[in-house]
Structure 1
Amino acid sequence: MTALEEGALDPARLERGCGYAERGRVDAITVTPGLVLAYVQGSRARPYRVQVRLRTLGDADWDRFLDAAVERPGHIAALLDKELPHSLADLADRGVPLLPGPGDLTPQCSCPDSGHPCKHAAALCYQTARLLDADPFVLLLLRGRGERALLDALSRRNAARAARAAQERGPAPLPGVRAGEVLARRVLPPLPAPLPAPPHPEQPPAYPAAPGGPDPFALDQLATDAAARAHALLTTGRDPVGGLTLWQDAVRLAAARPGSGLTAGTRALYASLASAAGRDTAELARAVAAWRQGGPEGLDVLEEPWDPPAGRFDRARPLLLAADLPAFRPWRNRLTHPRGHVQLRLGRAGLWYAYESEPGREDWWPRGTPDLDPVGALTGLGTRVDL
């Protein structure tokens, strides 16, 4: 913050940028070596793209930083606890300036304001400072080294330092064990019994909403579903939905969304699932209706016509006529009302599924409850089946 404020030309812009940061106008921040990037919501509807650049350190600078870090065991422990000691953050005497100084920050913004910095860039700097307070490895990544690479290098350097120290002390006497004791036959104790499975899946944690973040309800739904599947796998050894295709699983997840009608949240979920499966939301909505009607079998009935063997399908038309219904037109596993507004489809498990459409259109939607009796499958449709 000192580097930002000492290099700023207009304190008023800094004050407005601080207000933007406090009001949550800075979207998710992306940090890569030498660059901080985010979108900041200004006075216009479309957010501005803001980035702040900072020079990365060279290999010689990092060697000096690592040498300073391994000098004290407390430095390594502090870094593992996500803390950056002041003695490491300020190695000016060794020529390793981790913290930026005045003029080191190079902000850029897509807004028309030519101030240095503009209020959007200032907001990003204030928000980045909070990230640095929470995790010093953000600063180290900004200077060019990620957490994993830095800790690995620190571990290697510390091991080499310890090896040199041990070599200087000379070899220590090794404790001995008699070979007869090592090679004697032993009977190992039995393994303990496995822990009992929990009686039911636990509730997932609550996911807070964040501007520009994922839908917390969708996250909760996915976590709840994953917990139920894991519990079933633990208790039965089987994943109840492990054999589903990507499309079937997308339909299953959408069908599990409680309530009816396409709310704003449901539309977002449908759009995401449909896009992942390479379909559109209209196809997904129809497939959800079929899934709620009959599960995977209902979805198969919606999408896959097939040729049933003689028997149940052939007996359906006389049963419909006996119930004072007109002669339905057969095609493969489907029987269609002569007016074209009601249809029966035979599933591979022997159940009949009712469908409805506007007369003269091929816009069939699942309706009612599947039944072994074709007349029973039409019962819930009421007078719409009549002549």
Structure 2
Amino acid sequence: MRDNTQEQLHRLRSLRTAAGLTIEELAARSGVSVRTIGGIERHTIRRPHPGTLRALGTALGLDGPGTGRLRAADEQVGGVTGLPGVTPHFTGRHADLAWLTARLGHSRAVQLIGLPGVGTTTLAVQAATRLADRFPDGVRFLGPVGDATAATIARRLLPAAAPASTGSDPVALGAYRDLVRARRMLVVLDGVRATRQVGPLLPADAAAVTLVTGGPPLAELPEADRRLVPPLPPADARAALTAMVEGSTPAPAVAELAACCAGLPLALRVTANRLLTRPQWSAQWLIDRLTRPDRVLGALVAGDLSVRDAFERAYAGLPSPARRALRLLPRLVGPAPAEAGFLDLAERGWLTPGRDHRYRPHPLVNAFARVVPGT
């Protein structure tokens, strides 16, 4: 039987960031010190006290039994953390949730695609939490998947006691396909980067449903089972930021700040964090920085939450034509043409369709294109 202790603990950061919390915010909620949380996430604290884990689980919104998602236990599914707590101040997304509600009832797999920081993880967790009672065999959350192979993902999702979990790649994949054929469960694979990571995990006769976030459009899925998640519309962005700042900022400034964030939920979260934790800085001071393309990404950093870092991680996973196209954006006059690399970016939400088969980048994508290496 393999020991999943480290694999479980190393996922604390994914639970925390999916909940939209900095280390400092999680420390304030849980009563666990910043130093201890950082030590667990950096793997320098290898066996934290069970009371520490319970406090962190409660602060992350996990239910009583769910706090075991931060511990290794023989009965747990290998490598699975369980759903993070739903993000506070979740706003809007009514059409996206309605789509997920419908598709998760009729499809073997669905995919959410979007710009980094647009909230595909948050949306997936919100839907999975609301719909959990549809799946009598439970909900399994694994992420971020990163560069893990399909066989590695299968091993992490198999019960730790299953012999196949330590078998060869074909054995592990075969056992996982048997598992999803036999169980009516929801599997959330978060932060997928490539189609090859998912295709072998989706047998045509699966009883389970797989919800994928990230990656390019999966060729295995019909277009009806893929959804490009857009930034929040202006009214929802203002409402979200208003709720986050809890009355600490005048409404006109909130509206202007929300517009600067261009509907990107991660940018809104960082902005709220800066307003709440730096009361000595005026809202206008922050507006002045967010309205300057050369300073906006530097301003959208709060603790270890960073819009630029999110873009850089996603950029590293783009195909070469898309990376080249992104680097060309600052040199373009007018919208981007409907050519290979730009189409790759549009498929992932970095660009949005305009008139005459041309594409416009999100304002923060434009800012990132100015500083990405090679431009």
Per the shorter chain, which TM-score range?
Answer: under 0.3
Higher relative contact order (CA 8 A, sep 6+): 2
TM-score, normalized by length of structure 2? Answer: 0.21
TM-score, normalized by length of structure 1? Answer: 0.20
